[in-house]
DNA sequence: TTGCTCCTCACGTCACGTGAGGTGGC
DNA sequence: TTGCTCCTCACGTCACGTGAGGTGGC
């Protein structure tokens, strides 16, 4: 864990987000760089980079950026042992939504794989009758 | 396969899309209802409903609605045996992107599950050090 | 000094959500 | 006739993309 500071370009390469996305996360107060250079360049610590990585990893869970910020805040509160009942209930509710989203992602992945193999086979719609889809 | 006609509300319930989404798909010429009632109500055939279901199932593949329309068109062309070389190449390219997206979905699902269990455990960021994340 | 990287507006985009005000049809 | 369902605008939203025009720093 070095306490080196990183410019936004290096951070974007490492985490795999666009410059615009990282700047947007600052606009909405989701990930604020710990510092700025004399000339105004954003400077990110390793902790900032970890936070960006967490935000990126959470994207498939389908929360809004505002909700994501709240979840990260709740983690800090709960980890610090300073959680009120309301905080715990809120986190519980987020966790339930996350689990539901995982189940949906799992189904979507299965469907996506089936559709993808069909794309390559050039079977097109013909194979669709083989197994009755959910909307029938 | 009945040739009954369905109003948009019944279609939305069956397929699991919002009214607005189904209307939007008509706006962008992705799924056009086969008919209209005398009073202007959209009327969907079973084939229309299948098409909506396919579009919905393809959403996780990450194509734009315009690309989705092209893929459905290509399926018809290829199934009909009337595909030019260019059509086959384009479908091949779509299939490759779909496969890449499947791989990404698979990784995202794994990460999402890990994150989700961490949410419920209230471990928060503490567990993040256990396995080095990709951006380190 | 030359590039390469970064900066701040600010408008554009994609896929819809959300009323507002009005009408069809069993 | 009463509801419930549907209709068409049309503006709003979310998460960024995409230049435009200008400057920082090894």
B99 closest CB neighbour out of A75, A116, A124: A116
- The CA R_g of chain B, rounded to the nearest whole Å, is 20
Q: Say how many C-beta atoms besides its own lie within 10 A of residue A3's C-beta.
A: 8
A122 closest CB neighbour out of B91, B102, B113: B91
Instruction: Tokens 């109003």: give the residue.
Output: B7
Residues B17, B74, A108, CA angle at the centre, nearest 5°?
A: 35
Question: Phi first, then psi: what are they for A41, rounded to 5°?
Answer: -70, 135
Separation of CA B93 from chain center: 17
pLDDT digits (tens, 9 = 90+) for A53-64: 999 999 999 999
pLDDT digits (tens, 9 = 90+) for A58-87: 999 999 999 999 999 999 999 999 999 999
Reading chain A (136 residues) residue by residue, the pLDDT tens digits are 567 999 999 999 999 999 999 999 999 999 999 999 999 999 999 999 999 999 999 999 999 999 999 999 999 999 999 999 999 999 999 999 999 999 999 999 999 999 999 988 765 554 454 556 666 6
Measure the CA–CA gap between B134 and B136, rounded to whole angstroms. Answer: 6
The answer to whether the CB of A45 falls within 8 A of the CB of A5 is yes
Structure tokens belonging to residue B1: 């396969």
Measure the CA–CA gap between B43 and B37, rounded to whole angstroms. Answer: 7
Q: What is the DSSP string of chain A?
A: -----B-HHHHHHHHT--HHHHHHHHHTTSS--SEE-TT--EEB-HHHHHHHHHHHHHGGGT--HHHHHHHHHHHHHHHTT---HHHHHHHHHHHHHHHHHHHHHHHHHHHHHHHHHHHHHT-GGGGGGTS--TT-
Measure the CA–CA gap between A46 and A52, rounded to whole angstroms. Answer: 10
Interchain contact, A98 vs B112, CB within 8 Å? yes
The answer to whether the CB of A7 falls within 8 A of the CB of A42 is yes
| Protein residues with Cβ atoms closer than 7 angstroms to any atom of nucleic acid strand D | A 18, 20-21, 24, 28, 37-41, 59, 64-66; B 7-10, 19, 23, 40-42
B65 touches strand C (CB under 7 A): yes
């Amino acid at each position: 864990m070095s306490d080196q500071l990183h410019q936004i370009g290096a951070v974007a390469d490492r985490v795999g987000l666009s410059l615009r996305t990282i700047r947007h996360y600052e606009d909405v107060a989701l990930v604020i760089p710990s510092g700025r250079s004399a000339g105004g360049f954003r400077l990110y610590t390793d902790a900032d980079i970890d936070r960006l990585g967490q935000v990126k990893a959470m994207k498939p869970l389908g929360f809004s950026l505002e909700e994501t910020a709240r979840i990260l805040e709740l983690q800090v509160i709960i980890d610090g042992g300073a959680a009120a009942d309301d905080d715990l209930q809120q986190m519980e509710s987020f966790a339930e939504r996350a689990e539901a989203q995982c189940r949906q992602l799992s189904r979507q992945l299965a469907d996506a794989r089936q559709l993808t193999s069909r794309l390559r086979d050039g079977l097109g719609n013909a194979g669709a009758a083989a197994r009755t889809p959910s909307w029938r």
